[in-house]
Structure 1
Amino acid sequence: MKKLFAIALGLSETASAHVRRLQNSFWKKTGDISPISLPPLVPIAWSSHLFAPFEQLSIPPMPQEVSFSHLMSVGGHLFLASSDDGWLHTVEEIRRLCVPAHEEHPLEIPFPCAPGIYLGKNFDHDGQITPVTNSDWRLLHLTIEWEEHENNLRSLRYGITSDRHVVNCR
């Protein structure tokens, strides 16, 4: 079993419910268990070591409201993305604050980080995407363990080590 630590942004209950329906429909098409094994989230950073406590970081305020309306492919995985410049800047700033100085070895990760909501492995999707709007954010420290067989996830489990509400811009 492989194990890494992750920083991610969690969504409001309403936005999570919308994303969960989309993830379930994708899972039925692909069989990829990664998105249904995790809460809806925006993956920010991976590390082989625990991240610094959130209290030691000066986390920037989140945009008041972000609409995720288009699909983005990163490293063979799909994300529900936003074109909001404020959102993109904020995610990059959080990543910069949280990423460890260096890793001794390249990390083998179950899926990449991107400024979008993780939806699972890439596939040809030709349907309409209903936009998902979020205005309530949680910053999460996660421990993620997984097993793969022939490049397919066999199992994935997670634990939330720390959970902090992130204040929105006013």
Structure 2
Amino acid sequence: MADTSTTEATEAAADDTTTARAETGGERPQDVPPEVKQALRKANKEAESLRLKLKEYEDRDKTEAEKLAERAATAERERDEANAAALRLRIAAKHGISDEHADLFLNGTDEATLTQQAEQLAQLAGSSKKRSNHVPREGTTPASGGSDERQFAQSLFGGGD
């Protein structure tokens, strides 16, 4: 479709050129033999089709180059992500941080930031263990000493002795 509209535009331009020559005192349109006009139209059609083929070829190469550039960028991004994940896990293991906590809390991009985050997380985890609830006599039974209340309850319900 583009081929025919471009060819028609080229032919119209050739006719305008011939008309312009006639107006300026050059050759007259009827002085140009019909065989020459036909040959000119045929040459213009061939030139247009070759231009379209060249453009199509250049576009194909351009898209291939773009595809290769995109693949290269994707590979570099995946490499960087893998290196960052390996660094994160190595620092987490060094500071005794679980994988789940490392994924959640260690979000730095360089080694210094990750190390600082890991140290602070390890420090917080250590301090929370120190402050945990502790009941000193939990789970032990008190020695039966014979308190007054206990003796009263035993005498009331008739238990014990």
Q: Which protein shows a greater Rg?
A: 2
Q: Which is richer in strand?
A: 1
Q: TM-score, normalised by structure 2?
A: 0.19
TM-score scaled to structure 1, two decimals? 0.18
Larger helix proportion of the pair: 2
